[in-house]
């Protein structure tokens, strides 16, 4: 076992009980008024994480924290939606380093403190899974561009490749006879997508460090793309000249494209992408179906990245 | 090996108990879903649960006659209930899909059925089950005679299609899908070797008797 090293929390930052019990009200207010979140509670394995407001809020009701942290796709911990929360207790995301290399002037390793020093912001983003469900999540993170600036990409770099950790002893689906995916999980972005201001590396949600099931300690968030692009528990980022492989695209290229931009007009071969189910809320009858938006509603910001491209071919 | 059998006076009650017990997973999960106690995507959880129980009851339906062949225990009296439970679960699976999942958006449903072939074959299996459910009564058995047996052989392709539908519906085929498909393959495979097995079983007994009589005494 690695020694456990908690982040230093000054007594002044510990939430008073009264504020703790106001959490729901505050969240409701925050959802209604677009306020920055305050006074988070601590869940098992997470710590409070300070962040300044990042100025992104779709103005929609937040998906309850219980749903965000118990309904996940993280195949290293199981293929069922409840598996990651159930099976990730053995995973130890501290200490951690990300190696950044490839076509860069200054390859480097970053530990969690170095990453946090890049300036944490809270941003509320829509999240649309390729399986036609969606959430609204208050992420804490920093623009990926800030990290890329540190390593000085070469002019010849065109793409950014990402890699998830491989730890069979802590990730049950990475051992045994039936392993659902080839490991490590890999993803990729075009360099201009990676540098886009919306693209963040997230280190927390709901005012706390990321729970293991959400990709602790660092994951990618690209809100205009399907959720599987949001690679979790990242250990390596490599700048490349060629388009890097991405796990789902390699597995089923007719079902999952490299770009994976949210697009209600391009169906998955086995289901429609025209609508989505907003996770959380009141069972069958309170269930919340809504039309899916082009680029998940971020078209104003990102559509120009794809000018002149046929999005039915480059899906 | 001797499997348990119930005294005759409990037969009817045990069949009704099987219906009640068999519908329990659907009723309980519906209650959880309707009261907001299924986390995440309640409609999909309910829909998938109904599909899995449909496969389980199809499998149980197909195990009745191998159990009789291999172990000499006759549970045929439960087969109609198991088959009907499979049918009801498929029907509920379909209803959950059109009512709760697709909210009766018939244009979308029709597109799904014609465009997405795992849904096409699932629908086909459901349609093929309807005549079996309708003729699952004594009157039909008498009326149709040998035709009834031929009609009800449809259960084999239906089960195979059901397993395929399950495998094609998931993002990655895992152990669950392979277990269901494997069990159904074995149960269908059994039907292919059954005639030879039964001939062996029937043919040998008298032969052994004869041989025993013919063994020359050595004393």
Q: Tell me the pLDDT tens digit for each residue of B207-217.
A: 444 444 444 55
Q: Any idea what the Cα angle at residue A40 is, between residues A37 and A46, rounded to 5°?
A: 125
CB atoms A269 and B34 under 8 Å? no
Domain extents in chain B: 9-211
Dig out the tokens for A37 from the structure. 């979140």
| Distance of alpha carbon B22 from the chain centroid | 12
Mean pLDDT value across chain B: 90
Is the per-residue pLDDT at B19 higher than 50? yes
Whether residue B34 lies within 8 A of chain A, CB to CB, comes out as: yes
The radius of gyration of chain A from alpha carbons, rounded to an integer in Å, stands at: 19
Residues from chain B that touch A66, judged by Cβ atoms under 8 A, are 39
Per the rule left: phi > 0, alpha: psi between -120 and 50, beta: everything else, A280 is: left
Task: Name chain A contacts of B44, Cβ cutoff 8 Å.
Answer: 133, 277
Residue A231 and residue A200 in contact, taking contact as beta carbons nearer than 8 Å: no
Whether A287 and B100 lie within 8 Å, measured CB to CB: yes
Q: Chain B residues with CB inside 8 Å of A178's CB?
A: 174-175
Top pLDDT among A307 and B201 is at A307
Task: Choose among B36, B168, B175: nearest Cβ to A283.
Answer: B36
Q: How far is CA B71 from the centre of its chain?
A: 20
Q: Which residue of A has its CA nearest to B114?
A: A270
Q: How far apart are CA B164 and CA B180, in angstroms?
A: 10
- For residue B181, which residues of chain A lie inside 8 Å, CB to CB? none
DSSP string, A93-106: --S-EEEEEESBSS
Contact B46, B33 (CB under 8 A): yes
* Unique residue bearing structure tokens 């392709």: B157
| 3-class DSSP state of A142 | strand
Q: Is the pLDDT of residue B92 over 60?
A: yes
Chain-chain contact of B100 with A284 (C-beta, under 8 angstroms): yes
How many CB pairs below 8 Å do chains A and B form together? 67
Task: Write the pLDDT tens digit of every residue in B164-180.
Answer: 999 999 999 999 999 99
CATH superfamily of A19-306: Oxidoreductase, molybdopterin-binding domain (3.90.420.10)
Burial of B129 (0-12, 13-18, 19+ CB in 10 A): buried
Yes or no, beta carbons of A178 and B175 under 8 Å apart:
yes
In sequence order, the β-bridge partners of residue A237 are A100, A162
Inter-chain CB proximity B108 and A131 less than 8 Å: no
Q: Chain A interface residues facing chain B, Cβ-Cβ under 8 Å?
A: 66-67, 70-71, 75, 79, 81-82, 131, 133, 178, 180-181, 251-252, 269-272, 274, 277, 279, 281-287, 289
Looking at residue B39, its pLDDT comes to: 81
Burial class (CB in 10 A: 0-12, 13-18, 19+), A38: middle
Q: What is the full per-residue pLDDT of chain A (315 aa) written as tens digits?
A: 555 555 555 555 666 565 555 555 555 555 544 444 444 455 567 899 999 999 999 999 999 999 999 999 999 999 999 999 999 999 999 999 999 999 999 999 999 999 999 999 999 999 999 999 999 999 999 999 999 999 999 999 999 999 999 999 999 999 998 899 999 999 999 999 999 999 999 999 999 999 999 999 999 999 999 999 999 999 999 999 999 999 999 999 999 999 999 999 999 999 999 999 999 867 787 768 899 999 999 999 999 999 999 999 999
Alpha-carbon distance B136 to B120, whole Å?
25
d(CA A180, CA A174): 8
- Which of A79, A271, A289 lies nearest to residue B172, judging by beta carbons? A79
Where does the pLDDT of residue B90 fall: very low under 50, low under 70, confident under 90, or very high at 90 and above?
Answer: very high
Over the stretch A21-66, which tens digit does the pLDDT of each residue have? 555 555 555 554 444 444 445 556 789 999 999 999 999 999 999 9
Chain B residue with minimum CA distance to A69: B40
Q: Which residues of chain A neighbour B34 with C-beta distances below 8 Å?
A: 283-285
Other beta carbons within 10 angstroms of residue A111's beta carbon come to: 14
Torsion over CA: B70, B75, B76, B78 (sign): negative
**Which of A252, A272, A284 lies nearest to residue B34, judging by beta carbons?**
A284
Output Rg (C-alpha) for chain B, integer angstroms. Answer: 22
Cβ <8 Å between B40 and A181: no
Q: How far apart, in whole angstroms, are the C-alpha atoms of residue B207 and residue A184?
A: 63
Q: Which alpha helices (H) appear in chain B, and where do they start and end?
A: 11-34, 42-71, 79-95, 106-115, 117-134, 138-144, 146-152, 155-169, 175-214
Give the whole-angstrom CA distance, residue A242 versus residue A263.
Answer: 25
**For residue A118, what are the CA distances in angstroms to A106, A134, A149?**
17, 28, 11
Is the ipTM reported for this complex over the cut 0.90? no
B151, two tokens: 């009609």
Position of tokens 């039915």? A312
CA distance A54 to A121: 5
Non-local (6+) Cβ contacts of A131 within 8 A are A73, A271, B171
- In the predicted structure, residue B51 carries a pLDDT above the cut 80: yes
Interchain pair B35, A133: CB under 8 A? no
**How far, in Å, CA of B144 to CA of B150, rounded?**
10
A32: left (phi over 0), alpha (psi -120 to 50) or beta: alpha
Contact criterion met (CB below 8 Å) for A62 and A138: yes
- What's the gap in Å between the CA of B7 and the closest CA on chain A? 43
**Burial class of A267 by CB neighbour count within 10 A (0 to 12, 13 to 18, 19+):** middle
Spatial contact of A174 and A167, defined as CB atoms under 8 Å apart? yes
Query: Residue A153: helix, strand or coil by DSSP?
Result: strand
Q: What whole-number distance in Å separates Cα of residue A23 and Cα of residue B81?
A: 51
> B74 by DSSP, 3-state: which?
coil
Give the distance from residue A284's alpha carbon to the nearest chain B alpha carbon, in angstroms.
5
Residue among B34, B119, B170 minimizing CB distance to A285: B34
Peptide bond connecting A203 to the previous residue in cis, omega within 30 degrees of 0: no
**Among all chains, which residue has been given the structure tokens 């540190």?**
A150
CB contact at 8 A, B163 and B62: no
The C-alpha atoms of residue A249 and residue A269 are separated, in whole angstroms, by 14
Query: Other CB atoms closer than 10 Å to residue B110's CB: what's the count?
Result: 10
């Amino acid at each position: 076992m690695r020694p456990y090293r908690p982040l230093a929390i000054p007594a002044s930052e510990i939430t008073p009980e009264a504020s703790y019990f106001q959490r729901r009200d505050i969240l409701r207010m925050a959802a209604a008024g677009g306020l920055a979140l305050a006074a988070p509670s601590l869940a098992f394995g997470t710590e409070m994480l300070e962040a300044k407001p990042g100025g992104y809020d779709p103005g929609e009701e937040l998906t309850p924290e219980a749903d965000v942290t118990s309904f996940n796709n993280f195949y290293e911990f199981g293929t069922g939606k409840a598996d990651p929360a159930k099976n990730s207790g053995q995973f130890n995301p501290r200490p951690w380093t990300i190696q950044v290399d490839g076509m860069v002037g200054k390859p480097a390793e970053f530990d969690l403190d170095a990453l946090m020093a890049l300036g944490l912001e809270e941003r509320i983003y829509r999240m649309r899974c390729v399986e036609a469900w969606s959430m609204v999540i208050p992420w804490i993170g920093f623009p990926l561009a800030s990290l890329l600036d540190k390593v000085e990409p070469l002019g010849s770099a065109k793409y950014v490749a990402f890699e998830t950790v491989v730890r069979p002893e802590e990730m049950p689906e990475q051992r045994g006879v039936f392993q659902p995916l080839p490991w490590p999980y890999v993803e990729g972005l075009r360099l201009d997508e990676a540098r886009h201001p919306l693209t963040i590396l997230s280190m927390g949600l709901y005012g706390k460090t990321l729970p293991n099931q959400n990709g602790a300690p660092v994951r990618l968030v690209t809100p205009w793309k399907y959720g599987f692009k949001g690679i979790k528990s990242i250990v390596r980022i490599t700048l490349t000249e060629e388009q890097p492989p991405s796990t789902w695209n390699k597995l089923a290229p007719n079902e999952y494209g490299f770009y994976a931009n949210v697009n209600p007009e391009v169906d998955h071969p086995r289901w429609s992408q025209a609508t989505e189910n907003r996770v959380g809320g009141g069972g069958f009858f309170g269930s919340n179906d809504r039309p899916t938006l082009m680029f998940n509603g971020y078209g104003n910001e990102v559509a120009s990245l794809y000018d002149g491209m046929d999005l039915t071919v480059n899906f | 090996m001797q499997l348990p059998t119930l005294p005759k006076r409990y037969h009817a009650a045990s069949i009704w108990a099987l219906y009640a017990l068999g519908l329990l997973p659907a009723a309980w999960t519906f209650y959880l879903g309707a009261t907001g106690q299924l986390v995440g995507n309640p409609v999909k959880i309910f829909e998938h649960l109904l599909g899995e129980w449909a496969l389980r009851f199809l499998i149980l339906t197909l195990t009745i006659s191998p159990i009789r062949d291999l172990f000499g225990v006759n549970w045929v009296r439960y087969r109609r209930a198991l088959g009907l439970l499979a049918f009801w679960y498929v029907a509920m699976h379909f209803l959950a899909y059109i009512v709760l999942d697709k909210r009766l958006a018939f244009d979308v449903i029709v597109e799904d059925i014609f465009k997405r072939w795992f849904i096409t074959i699932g629908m086909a299996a459901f349609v093929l089950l309807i005549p079996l459910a309708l003729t699952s009564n004594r009157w039909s058995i008498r009326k149709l005679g040998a035709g009834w047996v031929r009609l009800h052989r449809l259960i084999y392709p239906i089960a195979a299609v059901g397993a395929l539908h399950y495998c094609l519906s998931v993002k990655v085929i895992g152990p669950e899908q392979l277990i269901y498909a494997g069990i159904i393959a074995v149960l269908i495979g059994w039907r292919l070797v059954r005639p030879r097995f039964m001939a062996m079983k029937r043919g040998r007994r008298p032969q052994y008797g004869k041989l025993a009589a013919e063994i020359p005494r050595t004393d």
